[in-house]
Amino acid sequence: MIRLSKSLSTWGTPDFEDALKGEIARMDASQLPLQQGLTSSSYALDDKIRARIIAVSESGNFIHVKAGIFYSGIIAGCNCADDPTPVEEQSEYCEVRLDIDKKTAETTVTLVAD
């Protein structure tokens, strides 16, 4: 389970967005639906993740955040010595919804379909 404790502790302050972007940047690909959000590559990389906060709202016990995630992917080849395919990073982008529990900081992340 993902816990965004720093984001929750800064909720309602000017530091919230920076705290949230920082916590998202420290996540790895397995915690975000990056693989499902690929459009131009076949394997999501979990370095250089950046977030842009699009919208924030709250209802009941949850803080709801729509965020754009910028990351990189590669087209994975066979990695043979004679494989002519260069491994170049491709820029990727997807949008996610984060639902942060206001009591526990437990967070669910869902890919937002276009």
Range of the domain at 20: 2-75+85-111
Q: Compute the mean pLDDT over every residue in the chain, rounded to the nearest whole number.
A: 91
Higher pLDDT, 83 or 5: 5
Q: Is residue 18 part of a domain?
A: yes
Q: How far is CA 56 from CA 6, 29, 62, 64, 101, in A?
A: 16, 23, 11, 6, 14
Q: Is residue 37 part of a domain?
A: yes
For residue 36, give the CATH number of its domain: 3.10.450
Query: What is the pLDDT at residue 59?
Result: 94
Flag whether pLDDT at 72 surpasses 90: yes
Number of domains in the chain: 1
Provide the pLDDT confidence category of residue 29 given band limits of 50, 70 and 90: confident
Phi, psi of 75 (to 5 degrees): -95, 110
Q: Is residue 20 part of a domain?
A: yes
Lowest-pLDDT choice from 19-28, 41-50, 97-106: 41-50
Q: Is residue 17 part of a domain?
A: yes
Q: Is residue 80 part of a domain?
A: no
Query: What is the pLDDT at residue 79?
Result: 61
Q: Is residue 52 part of a domain?
A: yes
